[in-house]
């Protein structure tokens, strides 16, 4: 078996050169990184201002029910009438949104997906189709965003201004 | 080299329904809650992973959202030091708005003209 003996001086110089080489490689890699990416971004200060708590005052005025001889189309389950000229919002889709279609019926192609709580102006309807009542809706600031929607997921909003 | 943009402070005003971000370049962004919800970047809101983008959909600036649980913020939290997540009153909380996305969503006229 061949056995080599290295002098302590050669061994020390070799180790020193290896450390220097590793240091140089590390320095080159570090300097090649873009400074912006290595800079740590501070976490911003987050503040949530709570909404004022509503205080409900119970009403004690008596309610009198008078039977009406006229019938009104009541849709959306809110007691508000959907008709041409009112603003409605999409509601009750559980965040899934509502398909607005090219015509009043489920056989018509969906044009786009209205978002939950999105506001539209009623431009036409009601029309019956596929067992549902439909209204033609148009986004107030984008007339290209329009289509027929099922009334079940629409709710009249109080103000005429969205 | 472009300096990184990040918020110095974020304030969600539930009364005014506006989220205010003051950026490190001193720009002040005012986001209506409805805009933030319409622009929620999560896969569910964008209609699937294939529709997710690093920039806001231009349509969100013309969408009008009514006041509802879907447009009321319950809580706002930082995600590390790179993004923001919003919990809405309807329980939705999947959207992660990174700083770049949030800045591109700034509705001010100066940012919209860029």
Angle at A108 between CA A107 and CA A110, to 5 degrees: 120
| CB-based contact A45 B47, cutoff 8 Å | no
Cβ A120 vs Cβ A88: under 8 Å: yes
Element holding B68 (H helix, E strand): none
Smallest Cβ–Cβ distance between A162 and the set B38, B64, B77 belongs to B64
Element holding A89 (H helix, E strand): strand A87-90
| Domain chopping of chain B, boundaries | 9-113
**pLDDT band (50, 70, 90) for residue B76:** very high
Contacts of A115 in chain B (CB under 8 A): 37-38, 45, 63, 65
Which two structure tokens, joined as six digits, stand for B96?
Answer: 């992660």
Q: Looking at the complex, does the CB of residue A59 fall below 8 Å from at least one CB of chain B?
A: no
**pLDDT band (50, 70, 90) for residue A64:** very low
Q: Looking at the complex, does the CB of residue B43 fall below 8 Å from at least one CB of chain A?
A: no
Residues of A numbered 77-96 whose beta carbons fall under 8 angstroms of chain B's beta carbons: which are they? 87, 89, 91, 95
Which pLDDT score is estimated for B88? 93
Angle at A77 between CA A74 and CA A78, to 5 degrees: 85
CATH class, domain B9-113, is alpha beta
Smallest Cβ–Cβ distance between A95 and the set B21, B72, B92 belongs to B92
Instruction: Name the average pLDDT for chain A.
Output: 75
């Amino acid at each position: 078996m061949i056995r080599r003996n290295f002098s302590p001086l050669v061994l020390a110089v070799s180790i020193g050169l290896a450390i220097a080489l590793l240091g140089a490689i590390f320095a080159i890699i570090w300097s090649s990184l873009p400074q912006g990416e290595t800079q740590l971004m501070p976490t911003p200060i987050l503040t949530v201002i709570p909404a004022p708590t509503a205080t409900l005052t119970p009403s004690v005025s008596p309610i009198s029910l008078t039977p009406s001889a006229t019938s009104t189309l009541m849709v959306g389950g809110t007691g508000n009438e959907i008709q041409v000229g009112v603003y409605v919002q999409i509601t009750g889709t559980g965040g899934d949104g509502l398909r607005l279609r090219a015509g009043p019926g489920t056989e018509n192609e969906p044009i786009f997906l209205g978002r939950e709580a999105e506001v539209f102006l009623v431009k036409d309807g009601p029309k019956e189709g596929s067992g549902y009542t439909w209204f033609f809706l148009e986004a107030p600031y984008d007339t290209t965003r329009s289509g027929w929607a099922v009334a079940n997921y629409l709710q009249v909003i109080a103000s005429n201004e969205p | 080299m472009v300096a990184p943009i990040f918020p110095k402070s974020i304030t969600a005003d539930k009364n005014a329904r506006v989220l205010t971000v003051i950026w490190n370049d001193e720009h002040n962004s005012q986001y209506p809650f409805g805009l933030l919800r319409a622009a929620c970047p999560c896969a569910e809101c964008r209609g699937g992973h294939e529709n997710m983008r690093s920039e806001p959909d231009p349509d969100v600036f013309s969408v009008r959202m009514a006041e509802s649980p879907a447009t009321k913020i319950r809580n706002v939290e930082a995600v590390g030091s790179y993004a923001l997540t919003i919990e809405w009153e309807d329980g939705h909380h999947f959207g992660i708005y990174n700083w770049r996305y949030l800045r591109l969503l700034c509705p001010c006229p100066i940012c919209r003209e860029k």
